[in-house]
Structure formats: structure tokens, C-alpha cells
Structure 1
């Protein structure tokens, strides 16, 4: 197991290195540069060259990459070219907002998605209930966030329905007003994850219900919900846990659209703003942080799967 964990850590490090290289090259292939955004189209070549030299943008791309990578290894994310503030401080200021938004969305996913999937499988089966569950899941998965978010903003701005739009300030993540301002964005963000979790849970429950030990439990006269609690839920843990690991990473990285729509000063809106201003260091840091969160969550999910089902860990030992 220790050898497998070490291998996964090395694989994660290689993955992050590849992602850092891809994002570094991608942001520099975008049309226009920082000097174009700052100086405008009427600036002369001398002014553009001076700005590029000031921030090291006149050096070859591979030299810039290794300089940035070396600073990254030392824990230095660099300085924002726009605000001239350390990027790590900017991320630390905005990370609590995105984390709170993701935590609220994950809570909704767990409280709604898993019970809904179990209920549609047990009560619906392959009949009308199952068809309705599949339809609702398909709508939730396919509904774009910017469409749903735009409708929610219009409705709650037009009518007084008890929840307000906006009113969220950077650094106010611990206040009650900030929590209330995040309710609607969290609900919009959680629609996809609730639908995906409900669908995965339903399929997993239906797969367990046809197992021989379920038939044996029915033969012993156990009640349906006793069977669900003691036999079904334990056996659907692996697929549901695997999906929830991906959902956590999605919530952290997928908040870009929701934060932009609801004007939340989190990591997502920070990255979008940096893209528009060609603030390369900020874009690289935010994307790399999201990728690192996904890799870490995936690793923890695999470890938890091995603890939840010893057969998974045994198989990994034999394979690796």
C-alpha cells in the first residue's frame, strides 16, 4: 500500500508538471499580450519593449517557464502584473469565498442527490418513477449554468422572493449576510452535481438490488428500508464516493461562471479578470491550484475507496 501511495504521489507530481507547462504555453499563445492591454493600440514599439522587459516577457518562453517553475518550487507564485501584489496573498483573500461556495454546493449535493437517487431506484425502479428520475437527471446535467444562473438572477431581481442578488464583499466569508448572498449561487452550482449524483446513486442501487444477498435478505423477511440501510448503502459507497471526488474538484474549478454571474470575488472571477488583462502569473496560479485540488481529491478518493472496500486495496496491491 505504501508503494502504491508513493507511486500515486509521483504520478500526481508529473501530472501537475504537465499541466503547468500546458497552461504556461496556452496563455502565451492567446492573441495580444499584457503590453497591448496596458498601453493600447497607439503605443510605440519602444513603449511596448519597455513594458515587456520590465516583466521579463521579452525572454524566450522556455526561459520564462523555468524561472516561474523554480519560483513555484520555492513557494513563490510571483507578483500580479496589474495590482503589483503577491499572487499568494490575492489567492488567500479569495480562496475562502470559493471554498465556502463549494462547501455549500457539496452539502446540497449530499443532502439531495444521494437520497433522491436511492428513492428513485427503490420506489421507481424501471417504471414511471425511474423514467421521471432519469429525465430530471438528464435535464439537470444538460442545463448550462449560465442559462440557469441568468434566469435565477432575473427572477430574484424582478420579484421579492426572500433572497437577494449580490451584496457579497471580499473578505466577508464569515458573516451571515455573506452566507445568505451565497445561497442562490450555491444552488445554481449544485444543480449539475445533484443530477449527476442522483443518477449515479440510482444506477448503483439498481445494480446492488439484483445481487444474491439481497434476495436472501428478502427471503429472511427483512423490510425494504432495513435492506437499503444495511445492505444497499454499504455496497454503493465506491461508485458514489468516486463521483463525489470528481464533484468536489468540479465545484472548486467550475465556479468560474457562477462567480462571474453573481459578482462573487472568488478564484473563478479572479481568473476571468486576469485572463482579460493578460495577467499571466495569476492565470497560471489559479489554474494550477484548481488542478492540484483535483489531483489531491482524486488521490484521497482512491485511498478512501481502499479503506471502504478492502477488496479494492487488495486488487491494487496485486496489480501494482
Structure 2
């Protein structure tokens, strides 16, 4: 297990290095000149050239990349070209909104997918199971923006239970208001992602029901449901854990869109604003932080899968 963990950790580091190169190079081909944007429309070419020199934009690309990586190794993601604020500090501040939003959305997705996916598999061939399957396929195809707008109409406009937009200025010092502000966006992401995950849970449950050990347990006097719950759910859990890595990436993408819709001051909204203003250090740091988080989730999922699956431990 130690050797496997070290191998996966080495792959994680390699993935981060490759991702940093791709992020750095891809941002350099974007149109526009950040120096011209900062200097303003009334600036002269000489002033713009001097500003580019001061910002280090005239250095060779390898030197710019090495300077950025050197800062990363010291825990410094750079400084915003437009505001002069620390990118690391901004990310930590915005993460106080995005991370709870993602966690809440993931919990909602699991609460929807796991029980309803198992129920849909157990009631396969019956009206209830078919209705759950069709509903999951329909919700999985719904654009997250449209789902968010419909939930706003129902819960914010018609019922008035939840706020439609914004986040309290007091932040988490007022936990009730902060949680209410995140509940509707998290429901939006959780329902769509939960519908996608439900199909995987249903498929894994159907596969577990057909296994010999489940049929043997049923032949010894257990009902099909009891046999599945006692002997089949561990295999279902392994499948769900594997898919969760992909779901986390989907939740991050959904958070970028949802934070715009609900005007939440999170990393997604910060990223969109910085891309529009071509603030390269900020965008680099934000993209690398999100990429690193996805890779870290994949690393944790691999370790959890290997720890829970005795077949993988025996094969090593």
C-alpha cells in the first residue's frame, strides 16, 4: 500500500507540473494586451511599453514560467496585475464560498442518487422503477442554468423561502444567512449531478443483484433486498466512489456557472472576471488551484478504492 501511495503521489506531482505548463502556455495565446488595459486608452505606446517592462511581460516565456513556479514553491501564486492583491489571499477568501457550495452540492447529489438509484434497481420492471429511471435521464439532460432559474422561480419568487441572489456581507459570521444563500445554488448543482450519479448507482446495483453471492444469499432465505443490502452494497459503494471523482469535476464546472447566476463571490465568479480583464497571474493561480483540487480528489479516490477493494490489495 505504501508503494502504491508513493506511485500515485508521484503521478499527482507530474500531473500538476504538466497542468501548470499547459495553463501557462494557453493563457499566453489569448488576444489582448493587459498592459494596454491597465494603462488605459489615453496612454502612449511609450507608456505601455514601459508598463510591460515593469510587469515583466517582456521577459522570455521560460523565464516567466520559472519565476511563476518559483513563487508556487514558496506558496505564492503571484499578485494581481489589476488590483495588486495577493492571488493566494484572494483564493482563500473566495474559497470560503466555493468550497462549502461544492460540499453541500455533493451531499445533496449523494442523498438523491444513492437511495433512489438502489430503489430504481430493486423496482426494475415496475412502474415506480421506470419512472425514477426516466426522471433521472430527464434531469441529467437539463442545463444547470435552466435548472437554477426554475428553482429561483419556485423557491424564491413563488414561495419566498430562499434568497434568489447574493451572499451576506458578514459572510460566515452569520452562518444561518450564509447557509440560506448557498442552499438554492447547491440544490441546483446537486439535483443535476445527482440525476447523473443515480444512473451509475442503478447500473451498479443491477450488476450486484446478478452476482452469484447475492443469489446464494437469497437462496439461503434472505429476501433480494436483504441480500443486496448485506452483500451487494460494498461493490455498489466501490462503483460510486470511482464515479465521484468525475462528479467533483462536474460540480466545479457547475459552480463556475452557478456563481454567476446567483452572484456569489466565489472562485468561479472571480475566474470569469479575471479572464475578461486578462489578469494573467490571477487566472493562472485560479486554474492551477482548481486543477490541483481535481487531481487531489482523484488521488484520494484511488487510495480509497484500493483500501476498500480486497481484490486490488491481493493482486499487488
TM-score, normalization by structure 2: 0.93
Which whole-Å CA distance do the structure 2 matches of 1:59 and 1:171 have between them? 42
What CA distance in whole angstroms lies between the structure 2 residues aligned with 1:313 and 1:253?
34
Cα distance change of structure 1 residues 72 and 270 upon mapping to structure 2, 3 Å threshold: same
Judge conservation of contact 2:122–2:129 (CA < 8 Å) in 1.
Answer: no
The equivalent of 1:172 in structure 2 is 171
Aligned residue number for residue 98 of structure 1: 98
- Indicate if the aligned counterparts of 2:117 and 2:202 stay in contact, CA closer than 8 A: yes
* Structure 2: stretches of 5+ with no match in the other structure: none
Aligned partners of 1:112 and 1:220: how far apart in 2? 32
Residues 1-320 of structure 1: pairs in structure 2 closer than 5 A: 1-41=1-41, 43-123=43-123, 125-156=124-155, 158-169=157-168, 172-174=171-173, 175-315=175-315, 317=316
Cα shift readout 1:119-150 (whole Å, capped 9, x = no counterpart): 00001x14544443332222222222122223
SS of residue in 2 equivalent to 1:173? helix
Whole-Å separation in 1 of the counterparts to 2:169 and 2:90 = 11
- In structure 2, what is the Cα distance between the partners aligned to 1:239 and 1:144? 25
Rounded to whole Å, the distance in 1 between the matches of 2:58 and 2:303 is: 45
Deviation by residue 1:216-275 (Cα, 9 ceiling, x = unmatched): 122122133322321221221111111123223432453100011101011111111111
CA distance, structure 2, for counterparts of residue 233 and residue 215 of structure 1:
14
- CA spacing shift, 1:99–1:36, aligned 2, 3 Å: same
Q: Does the CA-based 8 Å contact 1:23-1:287 persist in structure 2? A: yes
Q: Residue 98 of structure 1 contacts residue 255 of structure 1 at CA under 8 Å; is this kept in 2? A: yes
Deviations 1:178-198 (A, max 9, x none): 100111100111123201211
Which shifted more, 192-201 or 139-148?
139-148
Distance 2:211 2:225 in 1: 16
CA distance in 2, matches of 1:226, 1:189: 32
CA distance in 2 between partners of 1:257 and 1:34 (Å): 25
1:40 Cα offset (Å): 4.4
CA RMSD of aligned residues (A): 1.9
User: TM-score when scaled to structure 1?
Assistant: 0.92
Q: Relative to structure 1, is the Cα distance of residues 37 and 134 closer, same or farther in structure 2, using a 3 angstrom cutoff?
A: farther
- Rounded to whole Å, the distance in 1 between the matches of 2:170 and 2:197 is 31
User: How many aligned positions are there?
Assistant: 315
Task: Provide the C-alpha distance between the structure 2 equivalents of 1:82 and 1:156, rounded to a whole number of angstroms.
Answer: 38
Q: Deviations over 1:165-214 (max 9, x none)?
A: 12403661352101001111001111232012111000000001111122
1:155 Cα deviation from its structure 2 partner: 4.9
SS in 2 for 1:104: helix
CA, structure 1 residues 116+236, in 2 after alignment: closer, same or farther (shift >3 Å)? Answer: same
Question: Do the aligned residues in 1 keep the contact of 2:214 with 2:228 (CA within 8 Å)?
Answer: no
Aligned equivalents of 2:66, 2:297: Cα separation in 1: 27
Structure 1 pair 36/88, CA: closer, same or farther in 2 (3 Å)?
same
